[in-house]
Structures are given as C-alpha cells and as structure tokens.
Amino acid sequence: MPIDKKVLKERREQSIKPKTVKLLVEQIAHELYNHNLYRTFANYFAVKGLHKLEQYYVSRANEEITHHQWIVDRLNYADVRYKYPEVPAVDAVIDDEESTFVQTVDKEIETTLLIYKIVEAAEQEKDWETVKWLQDTLVDEQTEEEHISRKFLKIARQDTDWVTKEDYILSEYESGDDPEEA
C-alpha cells in the first residue's frame, strides 16, 4: 500500500499535526502561568516568614519550568515552528495559607484536563508518537502532581500550627515519599 505523498510532505516538514501543535503551544503558556502562580505563593510565604513553604512553592514553580521545557523540546524535535504564547498575569487571590493549597489542587486538576485534551487531539490526528510521548511524560507527571497536591492540602487543613505543617510538607516533598505512607 503506497503512502500518500501529501502525508510524506506534511511529516517531512513537521511530524505533529496542527490541532495538537496549537494545544501544545497553549500548554506552554499554561505551564509558565503555573510557574508564576507558584512563585506568587512562594512570595506570600516568604513575607509571612514561613520559609519552608516558600521553598516548597519555589520548587513547585521550578517543576513547571521543566514541564514547559519538555513541551518545547518535543516541538523542536518534531520540527514545529511556533511563536511563544502570551502568559496571562497571575490573578490569584490569597485569603490565607490554606487557600494556596486549594488553588494548587485546582490548578493541577485544570492542567490534567488540558493535557487530556492534547492527548485526545493527538489521538484524533492519529499522531501515535505524540500520544505515547504525552502518556510517558505529561500524563504520568500530572498524576503525581495532582496526588501530591491533594495530600498536602490535607496536611494544610490539619489542626496544627503552620511551622509544623511546613516542616512536614517540605521534608515529604523533598524526600519524594508518599505523605500518606509516612
């Protein structure tokens, strides 16, 4: 069965189809927004004198930069030309310490749902290489991100002081252990 010459030409120029490209570029902006949001939370905790929670959110922000870079690398690998998307200003309202953890869970759920849309688009466009890449990188990572965020929200809601909470959250985050198993 001969390969359609149009398909050969399209894949020669770039191996990711347009709908998936559009969503991946939008995801770059989303990951950078997440970075800025978590840096905003880090600032909140720095000003409050809760420096371990500041460090926790700085580390979370750095992970978002890594996720952004994974997407950039994938697009570059597939020879996709694109323009960096605009990143909206952070619009979070921080009512108290716990609200940062609620917003983190919500943001990670939103991120997961956006990644699922990219997977769906890649499947529709029969781009199995990108589907596999998404599942092996972003989907797996998001499963962990949501899990960690929900676990630390539970800690944030405990009836104890914030110095105790921040000690536990940062030590568990840095150890990579499941806080539910500790």
DSSP 102-130: HHHHHHHHHHHHHHHHHHHHHHHTT-HHH
- The superfamily CATH assigns to domain 14-175 is Ferritin, core subunit, four-helix bundle (1.20.1260.10)
Question: 156, 97 in Cβ contact below 8 A?
Answer: yes
Distance separating alpha carbons of residues 93 and 114, to the nearest angstrom: 22
pLDDT given at position 125: 92
pLDDT at 4 over 70: no
Domain ranges of the chain: 14-175
What is the pLDDT confidence band of residue 42, given thresholds at 50, 70 and 90? very high
Per residue in 61-107, pLDDT (tens digit) is 999 999 999 999 999 999 999 999 999 999 999 999 999 999 999 99
pLDDT given at position 96: 97
From the centroid of its chain, how far is CA 144? 10
Question: 142, 108 in Cβ contact below 8 A?
Answer: yes
Per residue in 121-177, pLDDT (tens digit) is 999 999 999 999 999 999 999 999 999 999 999 999 999 999 999 999 999 999 975
pLDDT given at position 18: 92
Residue linked to tokens 């927004």 = 33
Read off the pTM.
0.89
